[in-house]
Amino acid sequence: MTRKFLFGINILVLVLLLLSFFVPLVAPVKFPVFSLLSLLTLPIIGVNAAFAVYWLVRWDPRFFLSATLLILAHIYFGPFVLGGKNNKEVSEKTLDVLSHNVHLFDKYAADLEKGSIAQEYKLLIDRKAPEIICLQEYTGTHPVDFDRYPYQYIYFNPPFKLMGQAIMSQYPMINRGSLNFQNTANNVIYADLLVDGDTIRIYNAHLQSIGINPTEKFVNQGGAEKIKNRISTTFVK
């Protein structure tokens, strides 16, 4: 009875894995809910691997069913999901880049919490000493000293002038710009930096979240359905 029950679950997971092969072929705008399956691909592969080990230990021929799907998954999804060796040589030259959403440096936080991000950020810069800093939700009124970064690009999307983005660098900027999105304060800014004779483009992206509030009150007030709809809408975008 136990093996039949487990095999039933195994078949269900195998079907889900098989369906995940077709997710890239289906337009999210037509079936947005189906796209949610892509978020479960890795756990599904893990469960199938566990079933394969379970059947193998018991010398059960049902092992070959899970093993076959796992081999197909490895061929189809490649090492991006299942892992693999990276044979590319890594350069000894490195560039220290720090990216951080500073939430306006607690500008609108309660008095007890106000300034905590700014204070922590000062310590972070002193400790890590990054060569380039990318900031999201940046505001011009803050107590953090960025004088060690003489080359700065600060951009506020015109409709939303209270919150912007910034790229701060110890290397000269020879070009910069912004890729604005419509009807949102979120955007992408970039800067071309002259680093040891080479030109390196740095992108600073501030993308919109799906607005999930992981609280019990949110879930009890229909949050589960909202989460599903928001994730589906995100895939369409």
d(CA 203, CA 165): 11
| 66: number of Cβ within 10 Å | 24
Residues in Cβ contact with 26 at an 8 Å cutoff, skipping those fewer than 6 apart? 34, 35
Whole-structure pTM over 0.85, yes or no? no
Residue with tokens 């890590």: 128
pLDDT by residue, tens only, the chain of 237 residues = 587 888 889 999 999 988 888 887 777 667 766 777 777 888 888 899 999 999 899 888 889 989 998 888 888 877 554 455 666 666 677 889 999 888 777 766 555 455 566 677 788 888 888 999 999 888 877 778 888 999 999 998 776 677 889 999 999 999 999 988 776 767 899 999 999 889 999 999 987 666 555 555 555 555 556 666 666 566 555
- The domain defined by 97-205 folds into Deoxyribonuclease I; Chain A (3.60.10)
Residue 58 structure tokens: 């018991």
State phi, psi for 222 to the nearest 5 degrees. Answer: 85, 20
Which pLDDT value is given to residue 229?
62
CA-angle at 68, arms to 65 and 74, nearest 5° = 140
Domain ranges for the chain: 2-82, 97-205
Residues in Cβ contact with 158 at an 8 Å cutoff, skipping those fewer than 6 apart? none
Which pLDDT value is given to residue 112?
44
Which pLDDT value is given to residue 82?
47
Which pLDDT value is given to residue 210?
62
What Cα–Cα distance (Å) separates residue 208 from each residue in 33, 36, 83?
20, 18, 29
d(CA 180, CA 189): 8
